[in-house]
């Protein structure tokens, strides 16, 4: 089919090609997050096989999320500069290369290289999926389509531990990578034949200095968080890292304000409700990734369960969230954002508080029930919050807003994983009873996540206080 490259001639329609396009990009994004969280379940096995510590093995997650946080900011430029199908194909090539590298890894550094390649692919694919939705979906169906899209990022953290635990128990951790190859092959074919062009392609130059500044800034922050427990949060080295983060971030902002073709339009931050929506999503992502590490780790080291049972704790919540994600978009389309978002934020907060309150005597059944509550709230909130936040931006900078949301979510995930790992690892250092030390560290981490979970509820209560005025 011949495609038009002019935005004015593209007609928004909810048809099979749009759905298949979202599915194709979504499968890759889903696979990326699934592997990320599936490998959390295998951390004890990886530590034994490669002779590494908890603080080292968590770089499987942190490095991946850090790469996402440096690649996703380029999404607005890639969306303007290249055809949508070409961007999808490039992302798929990176991701498949990473999967093969992980499957054949004979050392931890090689395994880490595979995760980095996967991070590049997912970093391109994740905002691509949302760009397709915001550019091509009819306005009246935007809530439903965003609900389907956010199902990827919201439910993959729950699917990963369940599937990963089962595969690791029965076939070894390498099968987590191998099992994805046929799925990615299907996604590649779907994308090549269904993705269409909905906007004009420009020849804007790439803002290399701006990208280097933001990438270095995020990397410095993640290193600072990761090394905080070992160096001390007030040590000279730690303070230097935090100062470097601030300086690099300031340099990025100054560069973007002066650049003729900025990497990301900072005009998005002039919309206060968009900013508060981003704050809510970032804090929720911090909690989601923190829980996806803590729950399987606690189950194995404290409750003495196997990898399959540990991963399966999140599965019922995953099923509930999967059913609710598109329904939550329909609720938004029909009743508006306030009720579903605030109910979702309340349920997510309640689930996190219950994990903290019951951490001393938690068993599998209550953990499953609590996570169902959390996942229900998450599914009501994530897609609707993103739709609501982007609605405050003019059409010309929605891709920039999408880039900001996805970038900061991935950075929050990297920091969240590092922070909770640091808390648990600090409690384990020098302990003679590893199970007790892990329980104490996990309880402290749950309390921290409960405090963070208050922010999305407060932020979105303010954002949704007045009717939405579409841009």
| Rounded alpha-carbon distances, angstroms, from residue 51 to 54, 168, 348 | 10, 18, 36
Has residue 91 been placed in a domain?
yes
pTM above 0.85, yes or no: no
Domain total in the chain:
2
Residue 23: HSE in the Cβ half-sphere, 13 Å Cα cutoff: 15
Instruction: For 82-215, list the strands marked E by DSSP.
Output: none
Last-in-domain residue among 262, 284, 301: 262
Q: Which residues contact 220 (CB under 8 A, 6 or more apart)?
A: 241, 244, 245, 248
pLDDT at 279 over 70: yes
Has residue 1 been placed in a domain?
no
Average pLDDT, the chain: 83
Q: Which DSSP category does 432 fall into?
A: S
Q: What digits encode the pLDDT tens for the residues 391-414?
A: 888 878 888 888 888 778 877 876
Has residue 122 been placed in a domain?
yes
Q: Considering only CA atoms, which of 73, 24, 331 is closest in space to residue 188?
A: 24
Q: Which DSSP category does 205 fall into?
A: P
Question: Which of 6-20, 252-266, 450-464 bottoms out in mean pLDDT, i.e. has the lowest?
Answer: 6-20
Q: Tell me if 471 sits within 8 A of 391, measured CB to CB.
A: yes
Residues 303-320 have a mean pLDDT of 77
Question: Which of 18-32, 142-156, 455-469 bottoms out in mean pLDDT, i.e. has the lowest?
Answer: 142-156
Distance, in Å, from the CA atom of 84 to the CA atom of 72, rounded to the nearest integer, reads 15
- Are 94 and 139 contained in the same domain? yes
pLDDT at 87 over 70: yes
Residues 335-347 have a mean pLDDT of 90
- Are 127 and 228 contained in the same domain? no
Has residue 470 been placed in a domain?
no
- Are 213 and 310 contained in the same domain? no
- Are 450 and 362 contained in the same domain? yes
- Are 282 and 334 contained in the same domain? yes
Residues 278-301 have a mean pLDDT of 87
Extract the tokens encoding 77: 């430029």
Extract the tokens encoding 449: 């996540």
Has residue 5 been placed in a domain?
no
Q: Residue 230 — very low, low, confident or very high, per pLDDT cuts 50/70/90?
A: low
Last-in-domain residue among 262, 277, 294: 262
Has residue 469 been placed in a domain?
no
Q: Residue 349 — very low, low, confident or very high, per pLDDT cuts 50/70/90?
A: very high
- Are 123 and 247 contained in the same domain? no
Determine the pLDDT at residue 399.
Answer: 80
Determine the pLDDT at residue 132.
Answer: 87
- Are 248 and 267 contained in the same domain? no
- Are 187 and 279 contained in the same domain? yes
- Are 273 and 306 contained in the same domain? yes
Has residue 236 been placed in a domain?
yes
CATH of the domain at 162: 1.20.1250.20
* Residue 353: domain span: 10-198+263-463
**How many other CB atoms are there within 10 angstroms of residue 13's CB atom?**
11
Q: Residue 311 — very low, low, confident or very high, per pLDDT cuts 50/70/90?
A: low
Determine the pLDDT at residue 130.
Answer: 81
Only one residue has tokens 């920039």, namely 400
Judge residue 420's burial from the number of C-beta atoms within 10 Å of its C-beta, 0-12 exposed, 13-18 middle, 19 or more buried: buried
- Are 88 and 236 contained in the same domain? no
Determine the pLDDT at residue 348.
Answer: 94
Q: Which of 3-12, 140-149, 438-447 has the highest mean pLDDT?
A: 438-447
Q: Residue 452 — very low, low, confident or very high, per pLDDT cuts 50/70/90?
A: very high
Only one residue has tokens 């949704």, namely 464
Q: Considering only CA atoms, which of 291, 421, 418 is closest in space to residue 356?
A: 291
Last-in-domain residue among 262, 291, 307: 262
Judge residue 17's burial from the number of C-beta atoms within 10 Å of its C-beta, 0-12 exposed, 13-18 middle, 19 or more buried: middle
pLDDT at 440 over 80: yes
Q: Tell me if 125 sits within 8 A of 25, measured CB to CB.
A: yes
- Are 257 and 278 contained in the same domain? no
Q: Which DSSP category does 330 fall into?
A: H
Q: What percentage of the chain exceeds 70 in pLDDT?
A: 91
pLDDT at 1 over 50: no
Determine the pLDDT at residue 156.
Answer: 66
Determine the pLDDT at residue 233.
Answer: 66
Has residue 468 been placed in a domain?
no
Comparing 416 with 444, the larger pLDDT belongs to: 444
- Are 417 and 306 contained in the same domain? yes
Determine the pLDDT at residue 2.
Answer: 43
Q: Which DSSP category does 156 fall into?
A: H
Residues 82-89 have a mean pLDDT of 90
Comparing 110 with 161, the larger pLDDT belongs to: 110
Q: Tell me if 197 sits within 8 A of 4, measured CB to CB.
A: yes
């Amino acid at each position: 089919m011949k495609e038009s490259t002019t935005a004015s001639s593209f007609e928004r329609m909810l048809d099979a090609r749009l759905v298949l396009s979202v599915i194709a990009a979504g499968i890759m994004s889903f696979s990326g997050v699934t592997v990320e969280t599936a490998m959390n379940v295998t951390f004890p096995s990886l530590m034994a096989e490669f002779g590494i510590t908890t603080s080292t093995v968590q770089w499987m997650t942190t490095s991946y999320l850090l790469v996402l946080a440096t690649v996703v900011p380029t999404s607005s430029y890639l969306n303007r500069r290249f055809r949508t199908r070409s961007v999808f194909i490039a992302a798929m090539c990176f991701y498949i290369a990473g999967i093969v590298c992980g499957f054949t890894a004979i050392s931890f550094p090689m395994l880490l290289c595979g995760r980095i390649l996967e991070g590049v692919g997912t970093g391109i694919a994740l905002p691509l999926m949302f760009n397709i939705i915001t550019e091509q979906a009819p306005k009246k169906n935007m809530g439903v389509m965003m609900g389907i899209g956010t199902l990827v990022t919201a439910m993959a953290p729950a699917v990963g531990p369940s599937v990963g635990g089962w595969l690791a128990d029965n076939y070894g951790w390498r099968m987590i990578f191998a099992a994805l190859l046929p799925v990615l092959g299907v996604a590649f074919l779907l994308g090549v034949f269904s993705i269409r062009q909905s906007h004009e392609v420009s020849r804007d130059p790439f803002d290399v200095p701006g990208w280097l500044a933001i990438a270095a800034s995020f990397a410095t922050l993640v290193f600072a968080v990761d090394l905080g427990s070992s160096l001390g949060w007030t040590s000279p080295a730690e303070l230097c890292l935090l100062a470097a983060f601030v300086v690099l971030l300031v340099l990025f902002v100054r560069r973007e304000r002066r650049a003729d073709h900025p990497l990301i339009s900072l005009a998005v931050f002039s919309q206060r409700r968009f900013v508060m929506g981003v704050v809510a999503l970032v804090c929720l992502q911090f909690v989601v990734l923190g829980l996806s590490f803590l729950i399987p780790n606690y189950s194995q080291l404290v409750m003495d369960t196997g990898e399959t049972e540990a991963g399966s704790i999140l599965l019922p919540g995953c099923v509930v969230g999967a059913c609710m994600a598109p329904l939550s978009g329909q609720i938004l389309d029909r009743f508006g954002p306030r009720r579903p978002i605030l109910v979702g934020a309340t349920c997510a907060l309640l689930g996190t508080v219950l994990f903290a309150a019951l951490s001393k005597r938690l068993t599998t059944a209550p953990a499953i029930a609590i996570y169902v509550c959390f996942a229900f709230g998450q599914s009501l909130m994530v897609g609707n919050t993103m739709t609501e936040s982007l609605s405050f931006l003019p059409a010309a900078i929605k891709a920039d807003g999408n880039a900001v949301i996805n970038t900061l979510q991935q950075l929050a995930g990297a920091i969240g994983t590092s922070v909770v790992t640091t808390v648990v690892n600090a409690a384990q250092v020098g302990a003679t009873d590893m199970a007790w030390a892990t329980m104490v560290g996990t309880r402290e981490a749950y309390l921290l996540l409960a405090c963070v979970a208050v922010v999305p509820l407060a932020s979105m209560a303010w954002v949704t206080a007045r009717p939405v005025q579409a841009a």
